[in-house]
Amino acid sequence: MPTPVNLTPQLPVDHGFRHRLLRLFGSRCLVCRERAAAEHALCDACLAALPWAGAACARCAMPLPTGDGPCGACLRRAPPLDAVHAAFVYGFPIDRLLPRFKFHHDLAAGALPARCMAARCAGLPRPDALVPVPLHAARLRRRGYDQALELARPLASRLTLPLRDDLLQRTRATSAQSELAAVARRRNVRGAFACGQRPAMPAHVALIDDVMTTGATLHAAAIALRRAGVARVDAWVCARVP
Ligand SMILES: [Zn+2]
Ligand SMILES: [Zn+2]
């Protein structure tokens, strides 16, 4: 099973040239095409609309009216994740940016979510490693691009945390979770992840993914990591679908 690699070649960027272009033409909001400050990639209105997460369950990031105690579902059945942190509740304009990032290889659309995740996660207990939720090799070949890895890379460098995309593999191709109901989602990803034989796993890792819906994928990944000896598994996601 080969280690997933990003197949999109890194293009050299001439920052001076890009800067001169932006000065000439201004920059456009990635969501609504209004004029935007170049450093944000969104216009003021879209920036103001960012759906930052508020009070939420500490175990699953489900929005709650108050506090950060566990939600009813996590109380009834403790999830395999110790903590989940979401920068956003899934909604406008994140619901426009993330699909562009995920399905259209639009790296600019991923830069802002990664920056916001870094800002939100900077004060959290520091894991020993960031582990992007891997795609199966066949899907990576089709898509040419792994959005969890592309979020994890800038996060790791901003927060000076080790990026370990070698710890976890997706051993089985699965159907797209978005097409399935909750129970089918769990069945779809059960046993889909594995850790190779390693002398030592880090004690504490944070899984990185773009969107958490039911949590089935993150839970399956967390179970594989725990089986391999990781004591604490958190998840840091860009957006939580309530
Ligand atoms: Zn806008
Ligand atoms: Zn919960």
Ligand with the closest atom to the CA of 71: 2
114 CA from centroid of ligand 1 (Å): 18
| β-pair partners for 170 | 193
CB-based contacts of 198, cutoff 8 Å, min separation 6 = 167, 228
Read off the pLDDT band of 216 (50, 70, 90): very high
Read off the pLDDT band of 12 (50, 70, 90): very low
- Give the DSSP letter of residue 30: T
Judged on CB neighbours under 10 Å (0-12, 13-18, 19+), 57 is buried
Cα dihedral 138→80→241→117 (10° resolution): -80
Predicted confidence (pLDDT) per residue in 170-205, tens digit: 887 777 777 788 888 888 888 888 887 777 899 999
Q: In what order do the strands lie in the sheet with 129-132?
A: 83-89, 232-240, 204-212, 129-132
What is the pLDDT averaged over residues 201-226? 95
Read off the pLDDT band of 26 (50, 70, 90): low
User: Residue 51 has what pLDDT?
Assistant: 97
Predicted confidence (pLDDT) per residue in 54-108, tens digit: 999 999 999 999 876 799 999 999 999 999 999 999 999 999 999 888 877 777 7
Global pTM reads 0.84
Q: Which helix (H) or strand (E) holds 155?
A: helix 147-159
5 CA from centroid of ligand 1 (Å): 33
212 CA from centroid of ligand 1 (Å): 24
46 CA from centroid of ligand 1 (Å): 4
Give residue 113's region: left, alpha or beta (phi > 0; psi -120 to 50). Answer: alpha
User: Residue 6 has what pLDDT?
Assistant: 46
User: Residue 16 has what pLDDT?
Assistant: 66
